Structure 1
């Protein structure tokens, strides 16, 4: 194909073909995972425009594309074809790709692809084995189905922001969003999990199916212990800053030269930590002997622990905790953690080279497979750089017909 070369996929999904009609983050995050695992992903972009996130900067990549760094985080291991699905000729090309695809991922509004003949009913009639995943803010049914859903809205509506941030009575108190688009990212993860389950079902039965993924559903499902505290214990979760709603102490403390994190998960660890900081008496206090007592008496315990911890230098206390096999650490900023020797040893940061020679750094797939590791075949593509290859090699479009489609604006080659 033109554009990116075509190295052989080695991941566990090698041989699986994905038609990616999604943009921004939740859908592309899902398809990037599938691509990392070896699937062939064909990303369809609007001619002359491309994925919205290509312009979500600064910062921008300093090359001819001027693609935003945001776009680069979610679009490796894909080929980009610029096809106008609103044109009947473009929609027909996409249907031909879908006829031979295993998976379609889209994040249009509910019913938005029906008029183009690219909805599940239309494509499954052509390809009954197709697994078709729709990602929306609120799902395919329910009173909110026609609303647009964005990560920030979902974080607030889901209850996540009601438990994130400092308490209202503290300086800086109030609801706070998470520092990454967590609702989009986790919906992408759940979508990939669901698609893999559907592939297993298809392997057994030959049947494809429609998967309905909603950002709100996903984010509410992640309330996990906080929701269970309310559903099964009547406890209304609230903002606790860096404290844990159940386990104590599990928070940040100030040392003589900076803050550290203390994450003690059981009574044994608590006793060992108290001995370490010179307060072996604390576990003998009836209020603090077990977590059931420490949790409601957390403020009294904190007042006892803080002076003892404040005498330590942070590096010394972290080293002492590590020697005692107690979980603790510091709050890293992004540059520090990306340069951390553990991250380097695990190969989390990787370099990829775009078709024009530009180097792009990405965060790799975190799972380590003993037999079929994730692979890194294509750097995030420039918009439309694989249009010619997809249409001529995959669909058999002639050079004359391709030229006519380009002239009519139905398809486009490189946007940049």
Structure 2
């Protein structure tokens, strides 16, 4: 552990569900000592989510978000337990919480309180809408953020009911942006000697990822509408139907377009003014796909994929998760790990999505049982003189 990039950094994970725990797990994977501070008895509410279990009582969702952490249960309404938290803060570099704005202050663990204990502390709050503004007190969930950021309005297919992105882009995006803010604050602390407050939100994460959509709105004055699997900046760049099912193509620039229509033996499209430039193809995307459809159904999807790839045109099958997770590429890149666990025996989890050549990550600790490390954490604080016997 000592050679990992964040070795020596201690993080107090006082968050629940997804955005905060995901943020803290990424820090833990890079070597940070992450102590998960949970409510007594029930712990992180994600321990009890999802409709299925493996062997133990903790849900697979909790197991997926909390590797490489230690757990201590503290009742922050109890003065004695709050003293333990304050002792931990003296040893910490980072605190991450995701309560609704104002709740941390009421529990005696707000930024100003903890900053007075440890001025070098980097304190990250993740909420639905941020700590300020007229929406700050609204409850925040991924679905709500997708709805109020514009994501829900632009996803799915035209004329159909709104379609949420099945990946929790607001939650996970907020976790990723928080990691970026936290690491930047730690680097800045080396210059200033002081920590700072990091304020992240699900809404701003969803907006921050809406690059093409916001660009389209500002460029045209019209809000983007659903376009299915297509792309707002390039065409053809979407799923198309072969004789035996769907696959995807990505002729995303002029050179690829020329090669693409050569593979399809549709050279007459080269001189069609509706398709002469990428901008024209985007503007006439529906007509373009209709014109191409009779050609695609003449061969199987694998035949088209093989022919297009041989010519250098991006194309791919549409894999389900079973196929993707067992693919030769996922296996070669170690994207599925077997995690040992004292109750589950072992379970499968996603691997590390970023590889480090000099300091490769590893599973150092399985997701903790509730309060599993309380005794050793308290003993560490006592031995360092931060907590009385």
1:206 to 193, 200, 222: 193
Match in the other structure for 1:347: 334
Contact 2:47 2:61 in 1 (8 A): yes
Q: C-alpha distance in 2, partners of 1:250/1:221?
A: 23
1:19 to 5, 12, 17: 12
More RCO (CA 8 Å, sep 6+): 1
Contact 1:45 1:83 in 2 (8 A): yes
Whether 2:309 is the aligned partner of 1:316: answer no
Contact 2:54 2:344 in 1 (8 A): no
Contact 2:129 2:203 in 1 (8 A): yes
CA deviation digits over 1:242-292, x for unaligned, max 9?
111231111111111111101121011111111111212212212111112
Q: After the TM superposition, which residues 1-400 of structure 1 pair with which residues of structure 2 at under 5 Å, given as runs?
A: 8-62=1-55, 65-168=56-159, 173-356=160-343, 358-396=345-383
Contact 1:391 1:397 in 2 (8 A): no
Q: C-alpha distance in 1, partners of 2:77/2:352?
A: 34
Structure 1: runs of 5+ lacking an equivalent:
1-7, 403-416
Compute the displacement of 1:235 (Å).
Answer: 3.6
Structure 2: runs of 5+ lacking an equivalent:
none
Q: C-alpha distance in 2, partners of 1:313/1:69?
A: 38
Match in the other structure for 1:413: none
SS at match of 1:287: helix
What's the TM-score once normalised by structure 1's chain length? 0.90
SS at match of 2:103: coil
Contact 2:87 2:381 in 1 (8 A): no
Compute the displacement of 1:122 (Å).
Answer: 0.7
Contact 1:18 1:104 in 2 (8 A): yes
Contact 1:106 1:133 in 2 (8 A): yes
SS at match of 1:86: coil
What's the TM-score once normalised by structure 2's chain length? 0.96
More deviation, 221-230/231-240: 231-240
Contact 1:10 1:375 in 2 (8 A): no
SS at match of 2:197: strand
Contact 1:9 1:39 in 2 (8 A): no
Compute the displacement of 1:9 (Å).
Answer: 4.5
Compute the displacement of 1:233 (Å).
Answer: 3.3
SS at match of 1:184: helix
